[in-house]
Chains A and B, each alone.
Chain A
Amino acid sequence: MKELLAPLKTHNRSVLTLLLLAAFIWSLFSVTWSRDLVHAGGWTTTVQIFEGLIKPDLSPEIVALAIESSWVTVVYAVTGMTVALIIAFIFGILGSGVLFSSHAVRVIAMGIFRGILATIRAIHELVWALLFVAVIGLSPYAAVFALGIPYGGILGRILADMINDVPKEPIQALRAAGASRLQCLLYGYLPLVRANMISYTMYRFECSIRSSAIMSFVGLGGLGYQIQLSLSDLNYDEVWTFLFFLIAIVVLIDAWSNSLRKRLVL
Chain B
Amino acid sequence: MHIVEINNLSKQFGRKIAISSLSFDIKKGETVALIGPSGAGKSTLLNILAGSIPPDTGIYLLDGKPIQQYKNRRELANKIGVIRQQFDLVPALPAIHNVLAGRLGEWGFFKSMLSLFVPQDKQAAANALQRVGLLDKMHDQTSRMSGGEQQRVAMARLLVQNPEVILADEPVASLDPARAEDILEMLTKLVAEEKQTLVMSLHSVEYAKKYFSRIVALRDGEIFFDLPTEDITKEHLTGLYSLKELSQE
Whether A169 lies near B84 (C-beta < 8 A) is yes
Question: What are the residues of chain A within 8 A of B116 when measuring CB–CB?
Answer: 186-187
Contact A265 B97 (CB under 8 A): no
Interface bin, chain A: 20 to 34
Q: Which 4 A-B pairs have CB atoms at the shortest separation, nearest pair first?
A: A178-B105, A178-B77, A173-B88, A179-B104
A4 proximal to B (CB < 8 A): no
Given A176-B77, A177-B157, A186-B113, A265 contacting B101 (CB threshold 8 A):
no
Contact size range, B: 35 or more
Contacts known (A167-B87, A173-B82); A266 close to B52, Cβ less than 8 A: no
User: Which stretch in A14-22, A29-37, A189-197, A219-227 binds the other chain?
Assistant: A189-197
Name A194's closest neighbour in chain B (CB-CB).
Answer: B92
Contact of B143 with A187 in the complex, beta carbons under 8 Å: no
Cβ contacts under 8 Å, A172 to chain B: 52, 88
* Nearest neighbor of B91 in chain A, beta-carbon distance: A266
| Residues on B facing A (Cβ under 8 Å) | 50, 52, 73-74, 76-78, 80-82, 84-85, 87-93, 97, 101-102, 104-107, 109, 112-113, 116, 141, 143-144, 154, 157, 161
Q: Which residues of B contact A12 (CB under 8 A)?
A: none
Within 8 A of B (CB), among A159-199: 167, 169-170, 172-180, 182-183, 186-188, 191-192, 194-195
Cα–Cα distance between A172 and B107 once the two chains are bound (Å): 18
Tell me whether A176 and B87 are in contact (CB under 8 A): no
A182 touches B109 (CB 8 A): yes
Chain B residues, CB < 8 A from A180? 73-74, 104, 109
Do B73 and A173 have beta carbons less than 8 Å apart?
no
Q: Smallest Cβ distance from A209 to chain B, in angstroms?
A: 28
User: Would A179 and B92 count as touching, CB distance under 8 A?
Assistant: no
* In the complex, residue of chain B having the shortest beta-carbon distance to the beta carbon of A174: B101
- Shortest Cβ gap from A94 to chain B (Å): 16
Verify B97–A179 contact, CB threshold 8 A.
no
- Check B90–A187 contact: CB distance below 8 A: yes
Interchain nearest-CB distance for B54 vs A (Å): 15
- The CA-CA distance from A180 to B104 in the complex, in Å, is 8
Known: A178-B105, A187-B97. A266 touches B143 (CB 8 A): yes
Least CB distance, A159 to chain B, in whole angstroms: 15
Q: Which of B88, B102, B104, B161 has the most CB of A within 10 A?
A: B104
- How many angstroms between the C-alpha atoms of A44 and B138 in the bound complex? 69
